[in-house]
Amino acid sequence: MMQPAIFLDRDGVLNEVTLKAGKPHPPQTLAELVILPGVEDALKKLHQAGYLLMVVTNQPDVVRGAQSKQVIEAMHDYLKQCLPLDAIYTCYHDDHEHCDCRKPLPGLLQQAAEEWSIDLSQSWMVGDRWRDIEAGQRAGCRTVFIDYGYAEKQPEQSTVKAVSLSAWVKEFI
């Protein structure tokens, strides 16, 4: 039986980011990983409404040498302990590697859909950057753009715009 999912970007959707020159940057250590207010409650509501919760995240700092895979995995273990997540899918590649899992390509969403029998047409991708929204659109999902007004390229369109994950869930559920 096919089921719907909420695909979630990690940084800026589930946890705080650090802004540098108006652009978001992920936490560098587990101690810096702070779950955003309202996220746990919002995810519980989505789960209770019958959605699988899938994190799909680009983490190119590993291949760039600015972060270790062990720290990323420790952060993901922490998120899984604190939040009702079903799975976390991570792309460790950079643009020049031309993989199909790095957002804006839909590879991570398609992989999760295959492994979990997810109906992409009944699913949502929630993200705070254009890459997230484009990946969701390419996978055939509806999209939620969390608009923080970053000083970077913005998505051309999304199904919904919101100020946070919890604000969207309050309207959606």
Domain count, the chain: 1
Residue type at 14? L
Q: What's this model's pTM, rounded to 2 decimal places?
A: 0.97
pLDDT exceeds 90 at position 65: no
What average pLDDT score do residues 107-136 get? 98
Alpha helices by DSSP H, the chain: 39-48, 69-82, 107-116, 130-139, 165-172
95 is catalytic: no
- Catalytic member of 11, 86, 95, 119: 11
Q: Which two tokens stand for residue 32?
A: 């810096």
Please report the beta strands in the chain, taking only residues with DSSP state E, as ranges in sequence order.
Answer: 5-8, 18-20, 23-25, 52-58, 87-91, 124-127, 142-146, 160-162
Find the domain containing 115 and state its range. Answer: 5-172
Q: Which two tokens stand for residue 1?
A: 């039986």
- Catalytic member of 9, 94, 119, 147: 9
11 is catalytic: yes
Q: Give the model confidence (pLDDT) of 71-107 as tens digits.
A: 999 999 999 999 999 999 999 999 889 999 999 999 9
